[in-house]
Amino acid sequence: MASAPPRPAGRAPDGHRATLARSVRLLSAFRREQSDPDGFYALVARDTVAQLASYTELAGATVIDVGTGAGHFARALAAAGARCAGLDHALGELTAHGEPGPNTLVADALALPFRTGSADVCFSSNVLEHVPDPWRMAGEMVRVTRPGGTVFLSFTNWLSPWGGHETSPWHYLGGDLAARRYERRTGRPPKNRFGHSLHPVSVSAALDWARSRDDVRLLDAVPRYHPRWAEGVVRVPVIREIATWNLVLVLRKKAGRT
């Protein structure tokens, strides 16, 4: 089985610090996701953009935000100096919290409407598990990134405690069962419907996909919300599927590859 690579030498120092206090702050914020979505997503977006900035320069960079939703990550990227274009699969996602931001469009993540090698950075947060062909989407992200550019891909793995999203933790007994239970309890189907808008994606599959590509170098594979001393969990088969919670893959497109 694939295992995560060691942290690359020479990683740039920055404002992102994977401390226990940060982990507690982020995980505690999940309780406010429904009551204060703007505050919650703004906090996560700032943290994620700081994490991304530890791998690549964002000032002046052209960034594609795949699955931009209400634009929280796009705004944080713009605040870091990036030129950001965002896309989502439905207009309703772009307008969920008001008017869509600038440079946003409705498009399919499985067929990104951008030229090959047109972006310095291709970014996606918690979208991969919502598409029916996740590695096609990941491949599209690599395609639109220029040689030497960075792909930052984060997703919630299926066997993590939040893998079933609003149907968690009952997804451990099966996605269909969890969805039926949610509908009985709430009187409505879950937004994230297993087999339709929510698909099981594993940490091992992500690592295998990244290592199978000859056009990228895997810079890092880390649990998104964990303190640095706990990042080694990604290297432990089976346990990583539960303990990782949310995986970040950081890839560098190899020079001369299109």
- CATH number of the domain at 145, please: 3.40.50.150
Predicted pLDDT at 15: 57
Asked, for residue 194, whether it belongs to a domain, the answer is no
116-128 pLDDT tens trace: 999 999 999 999 9
| pTM for the structure as a whole | 0.89
More confident residue, 4 or 97: 97
N-term to C-term CA, the chain: 28
Asked, for residue 163, whether it belongs to a domain, the answer is no
- The total of structural domains in the chain comes to 1
Predicted pLDDT at 206: 98
User: pLDDT at residue 252 above 90?
Assistant: yes
Asked, for residue 149, whether it belongs to a domain, the answer is yes
Asked, for residue 24, whether it belongs to a domain, the answer is yes
3-state secondary structure of 108: coil
More confident residue, 253 or 23: 253
> For residue 75, what are the domain limits?
20-157+201-253
145-202 pLDDT tens trace: 999 999 999 999 999 999 999 999 999 999 999 999 999 999 999 999 999 999 999 9
Single out the residue of 53, 118, 54, 56 nearest to residue 85, CA to CA. Answer: 118
199-238 pLDDT tens trace: 999 999 999 999 999 999 999 999 999 999 999 999 999 9
Asked, for residue 180, whether it belongs to a domain, the answer is no
Copy the structure tokens of residue 153.
């891909």
Give the torsion through C-alpha atoms of 153, 173, 196, 108, to 10 deg. Answer: 0
58-67 pLDDT tens trace: 999 999 999 9
Asked, for residue 185, whether it belongs to a domain, the answer is no
Asked, for residue 124, whether it belongs to a domain, the answer is yes
| Burial profile 28-46: b = 16 or more Cβ within 10 angstroms, e = fewer | ebeeeeeeeeeebbbbbbb
What is the number of other CB atoms lying within 10 angstroms of the CB of residue 157? 25
Query: For residue 221, what is the enclosing H or E element?
Result: strand 216-223
Residues 6+ apart with CB under 8 A from 131: 109, 110, 137, 199
Asked, for residue 89, whether it belongs to a domain, the answer is yes
